[in-house]
């Protein structure tokens, strides 16, 4: 029921724009899991201010995905044709800009501390997007650089959602923010793993697609460290290129040989265990269960 109020609040924001074309275009966007809204509302309960804040953050998230699809030249999102694929990049970029600007406008009417947290998160999110683009130009072997990028691109808005919920509920924001940060980074690491371990039908895109797009995700960083000079050269020669069946098999075999997926999963699990401990101390059983489900998901 609480998420339904968030959807109605978003609809109300669009009604205020008084533009049927924009409203119709937004309706074409697939509705995701609303993780950020769920976290905020579970931490703060569904007060009017919490619902407004959750709706604003979900609009920001939708805007970031629109821009992300243009950058990645993605043709689908959650199994549905993307806005850029159907209507073109210009429509996708401008719809994203409208979402961002409306969200910022609404932020100025609420809690100033929350406005500062969310707006700062969006700045970091954009920096993360830029880092992701730059890192795809060459093979990145720096684990810290990659983790910083996925924190900014994926986790920072989840962190902001958890902090905002805590502020609205009069709870201590730093531990909730740390929980959100860990949840977001672990989520992305698991995504990195699934791109390698799952088949194309499950993923809804080609397997090993991250590597083909030039993204050296965490398992590839661990693989590069483990390979000898000849293996490193072979891996680099494949980076950012379409892989044939033999090349895919070589990568998966080497990953298995050196335990790269297991190493990546161990880091994600460590982050989740810290998140579980933080929320266990706060008696937040629902947040504990979300964290555990994150590490157990198949996709």
Segment among 148-162, 169-183, 200-214 with least mean pLDDT = 200-214
pLDDT on residue 152 = 97
pLDDT-derived band at 30 (thresholds 50, 70, 90) equals confident
Q: What CATH number is attached to the domain comprising 246?
A: 1.10.600.10
pLDDT-derived band at 9 (thresholds 50, 70, 90) equals very high
Provide the domain count of the chain: 2
pLDDT on residue 150 = 97
pLDDT-derived band at 29 (thresholds 50, 70, 90) equals confident
Residue 242 has pLDDT above 80, yes or no: yes
Does residue 289 share a domain with residue 162?
yes
pLDDT-derived band at 149 (thresholds 50, 70, 90) equals very high
Q: Which residues are registered as beta bridge partners of 80?
A: 77
123 domain-assigned: no
102 domain-assigned: yes
Task: Average the pLDDT over 195-203 and give the result.
Answer: 69
Q: How far apart are CA 51 and CA 176, in angstroms?
A: 18
117 domain-assigned: no
pLDDT on residue 226 = 97
Three state DSSP letters for the chain: CHHHHHHHHHHHHHHHHCCHHHHHHHCCCCCCCCHHHHHHHHHHCCCHHHHHHHHHHHHHHHHHHHHHHHHHCCCEECCEECHHHHHCHHHHHHHHHHHHHHHHHHHCCCCHHHHHHHHHHHHHHHHHHHHHHHHCCCCCCCHHHHHHHHHHHHHHHHHHHHHHHHHHHCCCHHHHHHHHHHHHHHHHHHHHHHHHHCCHHHHCCCCCHHHHCCCCCHHHHHHHHHCCHHHHHHHHHHCCCCCCHHHHHHHHHHHHHHCHHHHHHHHHHHHHHHHHHHHHHCCCHHHHHHHHHHHHCCC
Choose the final residue of a domain: 73, 92, 110: 110
Residue 55 has pLDDT above 80, yes or no: yes
> pLDDT for 226-239, tens place per residue?
999 999 999 999 99
Phi-psi region of 79 (alpha: psi -120 to 50; beta: other; left: phi over 0): left
Does residue 171 share a domain with residue 88?
no
pLDDT-derived band at 299 (thresholds 50, 70, 90) equals very low
Burial of 130 (0-12, 13-18, 19+ CB in 10 A): middle
Does residue 182 share a domain with residue 62?
no
pLDDT on residue 202 = 52
What percent of the chain lies above the pLDDT cut of 70?
A: 94
- CB 69 within 8 Å of CB 35: no
pLDDT-derived band at 246 (thresholds 50, 70, 90) equals very high
Does residue 280 share a domain with residue 186?
yes
Does residue 288 share a domain with residue 146?
yes
Q: Give the residue from 38, 40, 43, 51 showing the smallest Cα distance to 5.
A: 51
Task: Average the pLDDT over 266-285 and give the result.
Answer: 96
Backbone angles phi, psi at 79, to 5 degrees: 80, 0
134 domain-assigned: no
Is pTM beyond 0.95 here?
Answer: no
Does residue 254 share a domain with residue 185?
yes
Give the residue numbers spanning the domain of 214.
139-299
- CB 181 within 8 Å of CB 154: no
164 domain-assigned: yes
> pLDDT for 62-116, tens place per residue?
999 999 888 877 776 666 778 888 888 898 899 989 999 999 999 999 999 999 9
Q: How far apart are CA 189 and CA 43, in angstroms?
A: 25
Give the chain's mean pLDDT. 91
- Tokens read off for 114: 């929350």
- Tokens read off for 67: 């821009």
Q: Could you give the C-alpha distances from 212 to 55, 72, 209, 238, in angstroms and in order? A: 35, 12, 5, 8
| 257 Cβ neighbours under 8 A, 6+ residues apart | 226
Does residue 105 share a domain with residue 26?
yes
Does residue 77 share a domain with residue 155?
no
pLDDT-derived band at 128 (thresholds 50, 70, 90) equals very high
Does residue 160 share a domain with residue 286?
yes
- Tokens read off for 294: 């994150």
Residue 2 has pLDDT above 50, yes or no: yes
């Amino acid at each position: 029921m609480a998420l339904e109020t968030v959807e109605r609040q978003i609809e109300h924001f669009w009604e205020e724009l008084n533009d049927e074309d924009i409203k119709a275009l937004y309706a074409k966007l697939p509705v995701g899991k609303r993780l950020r809204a769920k976290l905020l509302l579970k931490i703060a309960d569904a007060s009017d201010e919490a619902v407004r804040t959750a709706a604003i953050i979900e609009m920001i998230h939708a805007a970031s995905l629109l821009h992300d699809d243009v950058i990645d030249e993605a043709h689908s999102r959650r199994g549905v044709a993307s806005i850029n694929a159907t209507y073109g990049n210009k429509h996708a970029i401008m719809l994203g800009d409208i979402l961002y600007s409306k969200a910022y406008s609404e932020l100025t009417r609420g809690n100033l501390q929350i406005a500062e947290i969310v707006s700062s998160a969006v700045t970091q999110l954009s920096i993360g997007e830029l880092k992701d683009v730059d890192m795809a130009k060459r093979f990145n072997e720096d684990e810290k650089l990659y983790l910083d990028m996925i924190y900014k691109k994926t986790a920072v808005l989840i962190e902001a959602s958890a902090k905002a919920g805590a502020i609205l509920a009069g709870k201590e924001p730093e531990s909730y923010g740390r929980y959100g940060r860990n949840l977001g980074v672990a989520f992305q690491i698991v995504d990195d793993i699934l791109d390698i371990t799952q088949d194309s039908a499950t993923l809804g895109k080609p397997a090993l697609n991250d590597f083909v797009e030039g993204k050296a995700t965490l398992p590839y960083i661990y693989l590069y460290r483990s390979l000898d000079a000849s293996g490193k050269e072979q891996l680099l020669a494949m980076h950012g290129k379409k892989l044939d069946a033999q090349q895919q098999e070589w990568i998966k075999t080497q990953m298995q040989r050196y335990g790269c997926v297991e190493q990546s999963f161990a880091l994600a699990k460590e982050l989740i265990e810290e998140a579980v401990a933080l929320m266990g101390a706060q008696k937040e059983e629902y947040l504990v269960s979300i964290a555990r489900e994150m590490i157990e998901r198949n996709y």
